[in-house]
Amino acid sequence: MLSVTGVAVADESEDQCPVDEPDESGEREEPNETEEREETEESDETEDQDAIEAQYETVVDVVEAGADPEGNESITPVLREVVDDDTLLEFPNGRYYVDEQLRFTGFENVGFVGENATLVPATYHEFDGPQYRLFRLGTSDAPGRDLRFEGFDVDQTADETGIRVINAEVEDGLLVRDVTIHGVHDSGTWGPGLFNVTEPDGEGVVTRFRAEDGAVHVDETPNAGNRWRGATGIIVNPAHRGTIVFEDCNLGGFPDNGLYSSNETGRVGVDGGRFRNSTTASIRLSGTEGRIRDATVIVDDDPHDSKGQHAIRLDGGGQALENVTVDVPQPNGDAIRIMNDVNNASISNSELTVGERPNAGVRIDPEAGATTLEDVAIDIDGSANAVRILGGDADPVVLEDVRITGDAAGTRNRHAIFCERSGCRFVGLDVEQVGGDSRRGLELRGSEYVVADSEFVTTHTPIVVNGGDDVTIEDTVGRSVGDGYSLRITRDSGIVGLEGNEFPDGVRDDR
């Protein structure tokens, strides 16, 4: 189980509200509810700021140090002068123009905190030096330790702006929160955030990092020809070794990936948040272990003329999805794709809605490891498999308490569930597929199957054993609302055991 502990976060307990003083008439005025709440919140913010400041030996007000809060002059030279170990940089209310990178590596305990502070990046043509980042805080070779970065809006609404806001690589103690990027990233440079925790025992958390306006394809930017596709929203790269959790982050459509962990080791978690319309995948995870929980992923537009947009793509390691909502009314790729290098995967307590284009709900590639779907609802309208299980000799897949509904037809893919992998179990299924063109329920092509306690209502034959062997079907209902049998067994199939089933449309056994 992924967790993040040991990251220093200020205590957010509430103070008692101050007692109201009598007004000039001598009568005590009843507090206005809104004013009382605002006073309490202001008190909390003050307390939090005091607690934050207490964690640093030096606290610097960047405006007092010479930074321009009116957005006319670049603040980077001032920041270079004052940034140091055990130092907190505070950004009061204002607009801060940035036209070159601040690079600080190998640090100990550094903070950047904004209070209604807006960073304004220069345009692509006006940015000085490498057109990559505003803040490069640590590198894979010289990571920092204990970094706080929070409370910033980023105004990239001007034409040909957009740049990596923060590139953070730390051994341990990463805390980033409340960073909101406004405007479409249309410069063609790197996307808004890169985050790595470089020590295996190190931890980090990124909370409410938001770039909902996404980015345009690099070919539509002044950086055309220098990159492939363009920006990724948030990236965790192979330097990551520890644990990082992304909480309540929101990303719009990016021309590469949305949230992308390309690391081979380390752990990445996604808790909550909303991810939408990125190319390749809106969430793409690899690493030793990963988790997506309470997140919403949507594909309802193709802003980059993509050939494929998976909502979620799992590339490797052990991956768990829990209470995930995937809504793809305009599917242009699978809702969830489980790739060959995934060791094991589970999807539980989740809902998938797939529109009319023929893309799978869940596709499990031929060499992917053991996979479980439990308490999953899939509504599919396109002529595709709600669950497509590939790989005859790979580890078993288990579907338990899975409900499949929708108006999918059998035009392109006949069956709601297609399985060529042996040793799989299907228990407690509720499949209702009554679309046109002979839509069917479950096709079994391997061996050693169990189908139990399930109900299939389909246009054509609900269950087909197509060359399968050692198949047990028990306590299962199969109804065809069209011209089909309840069960068909092809002539090249082996042993099929039936017990306690309800097959009102009969069994066609061609053996």
Residue listed under structure tokens 């025992």: 201
CA distances from 68 to 126, 140, 395, 415 (A): 18, 32, 61, 64
In a domain, 346, yes or no: no
Who contacts 225 (Cβ-Cβ below 8 Å, separation ≥6)? 218, 219
445 vs 467: CA distance, rounded Å? 5
238, 262 Cβ separation under 8 angstroms: yes
β-bridge pairing 342-354 and 370-380:
parallel
334 vs 390: CA distance, rounded Å? 14
β-bridge pairing 259-261 and 234-236:
parallel
Same domain, residue pair 295 and 394: no
Same domain, residue pair 413 and 326: no
> Buried b / exposed e across 489-508, counting CB within 10 Å, b at 16+?
beeebeebebeebebebebe
What is the tens place of the pLDDT at every residue in 214-272? 999 999 989 888 888 899 999 999 999 999 999 999 999 999 999 999 999 999 999 99
Same domain, residue pair 291 and 367: no
In a domain, 206, yes or no: yes
User: Tokens in use for 431?
Assistant: 């499949």
Same domain, residue pair 184 and 68: yes
Same domain, residue pair 146 and 260: yes
- At residue 415, what are phi and psi to the nearest 5 degrees? -105, 140
Structural domain ending residue among the three candidates 283, 311, 333: 333
In a domain, 43, yes or no: no
User: Tokens in use for 153?
Assistant: 């809006």
454 vs 246: CA distance, rounded Å? 37
94 vs 84: CA distance, rounded Å? 23
User: Tokens in use for 233?
Assistant: 């929203």
Structural domain ending residue among the three candidates 333, 354, 374: 333
Same domain, residue pair 153 and 193: yes
364 vs 310: CA distance, rounded Å? 13
Q: What is the pLDDT of residue 57?
A: 97
Q: What is the pLDDT of residue 41?
A: 40
Same domain, residue pair 397 and 463: yes
Range of the domain at 458: 363-511
The DSSP 8-state label assigned to residue 20 in this structure reads P
The DSSP 8-state label assigned to residue 332 in this structure reads B
User: Tokens in use for 420?
Assistant: 């060529």
In a domain, 117, yes or no: yes
In a domain, 375, yes or no: yes
Same domain, residue pair 162 and 263: yes
Number of domains in the chain: 2
Same domain, residue pair 388 and 320: no
| Residue 275 identity | F
Q: How many CB atoms lie within 10 A of CB 356?
A: 17
Q: What is the pLDDT of residue 2?
A: 66
In a domain, 193, yes or no: yes
103 vs 152: CA distance, rounded Å? 18
Residue spans of the chain under pLDDT 70: 1-47
Q: What is the pLDDT of residue 306?
A: 83
423 vs 399: CA distance, rounded Å? 12
| Residue 465 identity | V
Rounded to 5°, the CA angle 389-391-392 comes to: 110
User: Tokens in use for 408?
Assistant: 């999918």
In a domain, 23, yes or no: no
200, 230 Cβ separation under 8 angstroms: no
Same domain, residue pair 444 and 490: yes
Phi-psi region of 470 (alpha: psi -120 to 50; beta: other; left: phi over 0): left
Same domain, residue pair 306 and 376: no
Same domain, residue pair 323 and 408: no
Structural domain ending residue among the three candidates 283, 318, 333: 333
305 vs 149: CA distance, rounded Å? 35
75 vs 68: CA distance, rounded Å? 6
In a domain, 353, yes or no: no
